[in-house]
Amino acid sequence: MNIFSQFIKSLYSPKHIASFRFQGIGKAILYAFLLSLITILPSSIYLTNAILDGADHMAKTLTTDFPEFEIKDGRLHSDESLPVIINDDVATFHFDSTGSLNANDITSPTGVDFGILQDEFVIAADGESQTIPYSMIPGLELTNEKASDYIKSAKTSLYIIIGLCMLVMYLFTTAIFFLEITLLAYLTGLFVTSMNRKATFGQQWRIATYSFTLAVTFFTFMNFIQVPVIGDVYVKWFITLMMIYLTIKEMPIPKSKQKTIQS
């Protein structure tokens, strides 16, 4: 069965998930990478649209609404003593050369926020934020006019920036995802023991991976339609643990344990 058929079966069939525990670990790892990719799709799409749609608007705003500034030696310099926030119909812009704001202050549950902070640039869209430290670009020197001209003439470079942001997002999401699967694998072991089944840790890891499918698909859909889920972490784990429980029920009880239960 190919990986996409496994994805469909894992949405509704604990019996199939139980059978997947015997396949090679490499295929399960590949499947985990696929789920990680699916997880970031909504954020990637909204981030791409936000960057491309906001580029021209930001180029204009830099010269008309922003204070005079210079980015040099990896830091933002200006005469402003307080952060400046500019709101319009397209986006919200945060300007701060004082160090009062950081990336965590640039949040956007539904819209788009841009931040030009003391030592980094921040873009937030659909609740996800990405940062680009000025120090990542050696020899960077920018003023209002230079930044505006650069944005206008560097549309092609934006795709590189978008690609880098997506790569960072994917790697971070994948790392968290693998940690969650490993923790769920240990919890799967508790289910296996309490329900008198038998499974190696590798099999528990495979079961946890495929049991994540329904929760990942549900939250990806909700993110696409931009509907927040209250207690999302608890809902995700509840769905996954229920799938794990139903999967283990599909596993046969070993004969040795059947005798123990009967006696």
Residues 52-93 pLDDT 10s: 777 777 777 777 888 889 998 889 999 888 998 888 777 788
Mean pLDDT for 104-133 is: 81
Q: Are residues 32 and 77 in the same domain?
A: no
Residues 62 and 129 in one domain: yes
Residue 25 and residue 101 share a domain: no
Q: Are residues 251 and 181 in the same domain?
A: yes
For residues 172 and 258, membership in a common domain is answered with yes
The model's confidence at residue 256, banded by pLDDT at 50, 70 and 90, is low
Q: Is the pTM of this model over 0.75?
A: no
Phi and psi angles of residue 20, each rounded to the nearest 5 degrees, phi first:
-70, -15
Given a cut of 60, whether residue 262 has pLDDT beyond it is: no
Q: If you average pLDDT over every residue of the chain, what do you get?
A: 87
- What is d(CA 11, CA 124) in angstroms, rounded to the nearest whole number? 31
pLDDT of 253 > 90? The answer is no
Domain boundary among 123, 153, 183: 153
Residue 159 maps to a domain? no
Q: Are strands 84-87 and 112-116 parallel, antiparallel or unpaired?
A: unpaired
**Do the domain assignments include residue 185?**
yes
Q: Where are the beta strands (DSSP E) in 109-233?
A: 112-116, 120-125, 128-133, 141-143
Q: Which residues contact 87 (CB under 8 A, 6 or more apart)?
A: 93
Residue 50, domain member (yes or no) = no
Sheet holding 69-72, edge to edge: 75-78, 69-72, 141-143
What spatial distance separates the first Cα and last Cα of the chain, rounded to whole Å? 40
How many CA atoms, within 13 angstroms, populate the side-chain half-sphere of residue 31? 30
CA dihedral 247, 253, 254, 255 (to 10 degrees): -160
**Strand, coil or helix: 195:** coil
Residue 116 lies in a domain: yes
Region 25-34: mean pLDDT is 95
If asked whether residues 76 and 144 sit together in one domain, one would say yes
Claim to verify: residue 220 and residue 242 sit in the same structural domain: yes
Cα(22)–Cα(33) distance, rounded to whole angstroms? Answer: 19
49, part of any domain: no
Are 91 and 123 in the same domain? yes
End of a domain among 98, 124, 153? 153
Confidence (pLDDT) at 106? 84
Q: Is residue 52 part of a domain?
A: no
195 and 247 inside one domain: yes
The domain tally of the chain equals 2
User: Residue written as tokens 């799409």?
Assistant: 45
Q: Look up the domain containing 146 and give its range.
A: 57-153
Q: Is 187 a domain residue?
A: yes
Same domain membership, residue 203 and residue 139: no
Are 173 and 255 in a shared domain? yes
Q: Which of 153, 187, 222 is the last residue of a domain?
A: 153
| 161 occurs within a structural domain | no
Both 62 and 149 in a single domain? yes
pLDDT band at 108 (very low <50, low <70, confident <90, very high): low
